[in-house]
C-alpha cells in the first residue's frame, strides 16, 4: 500500500469526520457525496461525537491474517451521540464486563502495520468512559 491511501483516510479515521446533508440533515460515516435519504449532493463535513453507547459486541477469535497479533479482540457496534452507528474495536476493557448500553469514548490507536516498509495505520478505537467521580465520589 502507498502512503497516500492512508493520508486521505485521516479525517474519517483519526477525527471521526463524516458528512451531513444540508438538505435533510442526515449524517453519515464514512463520508458520502450523495445523500441516500433525499438524493441531495449538498453535503458538508461534520465532526461526529466521540462518545456513544454499545449496542452489541463480539470477540474476534479467528482474525484476518494482518490482525492475528491482536487476537482475541472485541469489536463493537456503537451508536454515537449523533445517532450515527460505527463499528470499532473496544479496548482497555475486560470483555466479561461489557454489556449493551455501556458508554464508550473514542481514542486514537494503532490499527495495523502494512507491508515490508512498515507503514503504520492509525485510527479510532473506543474504550469505556472512565467515570472518576462516580467511582471515588470526588472531583478531579
Q: In the complex, which residues of this chain contact another protein (CB under 8 A)?
A: 9, 12-13, 28-30, 36, 55-68, 70, 73, 75, 77, 84-89, 95, 100, 111-112, 123-124
Q: Which is nearer to another protein, 110 or 133 (CB)?
A: 110
Q: Which is nearer to another protein, 28 or 102 (CB)?
A: 28
Instruction: Using DSSP, state whether 4 is helix, strand or coil.
Output: helix
CB of 132 to another protein, least distance (A): 28
For residues 86 and 127, what is the distance between their CA atoms, to the nearest angstrom?
14
Locate 66 and state its grid cell: 494482518
CB of 112 to another protein, least distance (A): 7
CB of 131 to another protein, least distance (A): 25
Judge contact between 44 and 19, C-beta under 8 A. Answer: yes
Task: Let me know the angle formed at the C-alpha of 30 by 14 and 58, rounded to the nearest 5 degrees.
Answer: 80
CB of 28 to another protein, least distance (A): 7
Q: Which is nearer to another protein, 95 or 133 (CB)?
A: 95
Locate 2 and state its grid cell: 502507498
Judge contact between 67 and 73, C-beta under 8 A. Answer: yes
Amino acid at each position: 500500500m502507498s502512503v497516500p491511501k492512508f493520508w486521505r483516510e485521516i479525517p474519517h479515521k483519526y477525527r471521526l469526520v463524516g458528512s451531513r446533508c444540508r438538505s435533510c440533515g442526515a449524517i453519515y460515516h464514512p463520508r458520502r457525496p450523495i445523500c441516500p435519504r433525499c438524493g441531495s449532493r449538498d453535503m458538508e463535513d461534520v465532526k461526529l461525537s466521540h462518545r456513544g453507547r454499545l449496542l452489541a459486541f463480539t470477540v474476534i477469535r479467528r482474525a484476518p491474517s494482518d490482525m492475528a497479533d491482536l487476537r482475541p479482540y472485541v469489536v463493537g457496534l456503537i451508536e454515537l451521540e449523533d445517532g450515527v452507528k460505527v463499528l470499532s474495536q473496544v479496548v482497555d476493557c475486560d470483555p466479561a464486563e461489557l454489556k449493551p448500553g455501556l458508554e464508550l469514548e473514542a481514542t486514537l490507536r494503532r490499527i495495523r502495520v502494512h507491508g515490508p516498509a512498515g507503514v503504520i495505520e492509525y485510527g479510532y478505537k473506543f474504550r469505556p468512559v472512565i467515570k472518576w467521580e462516580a467511582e471515588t465520589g470526588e472531583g478531579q
